[in-house]
């Protein structure tokens, strides 16, 4: 059977939104917000070459396995769970690729997300150096540099230039190197223009390369590589608490443990329902 998406009768964007909806993700819930992939790995070139495979992120691997060294460290973490600990807590990642704070941090320059972000942070903006301020540095953090950062993207990266500008002139603070936070720093190929960034980023999502490889990312996030032996093999296992539908909270009798699990899920995110 050939599906409309395989025949390219619907866009990659629409197909991803469809899968997110099927998996219970919604704009109405920051904890289960639609999740979209990083599709590019080139945030430094003057021009974006969508015919070069090296321009793109490896969609067959989760964000924790984008470099050989990073993948090795996460596999090592998985193997190092002490025998004395609960073996069911064995996982590659203790953080998630989508959570309320990730969503609010991306959209922090727009209301009502500004207020949401501040309330999640205890009433104020985060330390400036930890705020979302540059597409390239966020990619480098999530794909290479930061072992507690495996975040993916949200749909707005492919259609909403407004979230990249500080039109409300919020005082977001000053980084240690003296940079005052304002608009999000864009890759050179966007020429400082949020509209151009969104246009090219959307073209990248709909490119031949992504169309040919997107099903591999879908397997990781929505499909059979979500959990079990296929997830272990793909270096794609998360803390057990993230698998909300796999945990029967009705069987958790201890109220403290139950509230801990619920707090964990609300703060750190949830794996989508398998589709």
Nearest to 32 by CA among 242, 261, 257, 255: 242
Crossing angle between the packed helical segments 12-22 and 194-205, to the nearest 10 degrees: 80
Nearest to 23 by CA among 260, 220, 213, 262: 220
- Taking the CA atoms of residue 71, residue 22, residue 205 and residue 8 in that order, the dihedral angle to the nearest 10 degrees is 120
Give pLDDT, residue 81. 78
Task: State how far the Cα of 109 lies from the Cα of 204, in Å rounded to an integer.
Answer: 24
| % of the chain exceeding 90 in pLDDT | 74
More confident residue, 173 or 81: 173
Contact assessment for residue 237 and residue 92, using Cβ atoms and an 8 Å cutoff: yes
Q: Report the predicted TM-score, pTM, of the whole model to 2 decimal places.
A: 0.92
3-state secondary structure 29-48: CHHHCCCECCCECCCCCCCC
Write out pLDDT tens, residues 118-154: 998 888 888 888 899 999 999 999 999 999 999 999 9
Write out pLDDT tens, residues 53-112: 999 999 999 999 999 999 999 999 999 876 656 766 789 998 999 999 999 999 999 999
| % of the chain exceeding 70 in pLDDT | 93
**Tokens 């990781």 sit on residue:** 220
Task: State how far the Cα of 272 lies from the Cα of 275, in Å rounded to an integer.
Answer: 9
pLDDT band at 248 (very low <50, low <70, confident <90, very high): low
Give pLDDT, residue 247. 63
Mean per-residue pLDDT over the chain, rounded: 91
CATH (one of 1.10.1370.30, 3.30.1180.10, 1.10.1540.10, 3.30.465.10) for 3-268: 1.10.1540.10
Nearest to 102 by CA among 135, 147, 151: 151
Contact assessment for residue 268 and residue 245, using Cβ atoms and an 8 Å cutoff: no
pLDDT band at 206 (very low <50, low <70, confident <90, very high): very high
Average pLDDT for residues 10-39, to the nearest whole number? 96
């Amino acid at each position: 059977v050939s599906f409309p998406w395989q025949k390219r009768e619907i866009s990659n964007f629409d197909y991803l939104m469809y899968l997110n909806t099927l998996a219970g993700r919604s704009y109405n819930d920051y904890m289960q917000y639609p999740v979209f992939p990083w599709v590019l790995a080139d945030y430094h070139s003057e021009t974006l070459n969508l015919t070069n495979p090296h321009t793109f992120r490896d969609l067959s691997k989760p964000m924790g396995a984008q470099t050989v060294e990073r993948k090795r460290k996460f596999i090592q973490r998985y193997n190092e769970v002490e025998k004395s600990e609960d073996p069911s807590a064995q996982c590659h990642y203790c953080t998630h690729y989508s959570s309320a704070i990730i969503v609010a941090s991306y959209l922090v320059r727009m209301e009502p997300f500004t207020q949401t972000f501040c309330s999640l942070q205890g009433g104020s903006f985060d330390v400036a150096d930890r705020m979302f301020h540059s597409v390239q540095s966020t990619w480098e953090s999530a794909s290479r540099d930061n072992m507690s950062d495996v975040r993916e993207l949200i749909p707005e990266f492919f259609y909403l230039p407004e979230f990249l500008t500080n039109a409300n002139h919020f005082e977001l603070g000053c980084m240690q190197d003296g940079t005052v936070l304002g608009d999000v720093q864009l890759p050179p190929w966007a020429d400082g223009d949020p509209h151009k960034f969104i246009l090219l980023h959307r073209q990248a999502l709909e490119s031949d390369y992504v169309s040919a490889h997107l099903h591999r990312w879908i397997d990781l996030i929505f499909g059979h590589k979500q959990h079990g032996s296929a997830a272990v093999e793909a270096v794609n296992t998360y803390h057990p608490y993230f698998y909300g539908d796999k945990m029967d909270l009705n069987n958790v009798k201890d109220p403290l443990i139950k509230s801990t699990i619920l707090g964990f899920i609300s703060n750190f995110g949830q794996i989508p329902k398998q589709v």
